[in-house]
Amino acid sequence: MPNPKRKHSRARQAKRRTHDVLTVPTFAKCPRCNQPRLPHRICGNCGYYDGRLVVKYS
């Protein structure tokens, strides 16, 4: 297999690694039970979304 002739510069290495970042998910507060939940998702605690009961937890 061919090998690189020269070492890649730090700038070129950084350009390649710009997309290798992990992002922290943002949380929204459930308006019904005030528990943290992901935005635009059903609340895992009470099962409500947009003021309606979507999933019934026993």
**Model pTM above 0.75:** no
What confidence tens digit (pLDDT) does each residue in 7-37 have? 999 999 999 999 999 999 999 999 999 999 9
Spatial distance between the Cα atoms of 11 and 5, rounded to a whole number of angstroms = 17
Spatial distance between the Cα atoms of 41 and 47, rounded to a whole number of angstroms = 10
Confidence class for position 1, pLDDT limits 50, 70, 90: confident
Helical spans, DSSP H, in 1-58:
10-16
Spatial distance between the Cα atoms of 9 and 53, rounded to a whole number of angstroms = 56
What pLDDT does 53 receive?
A: 94
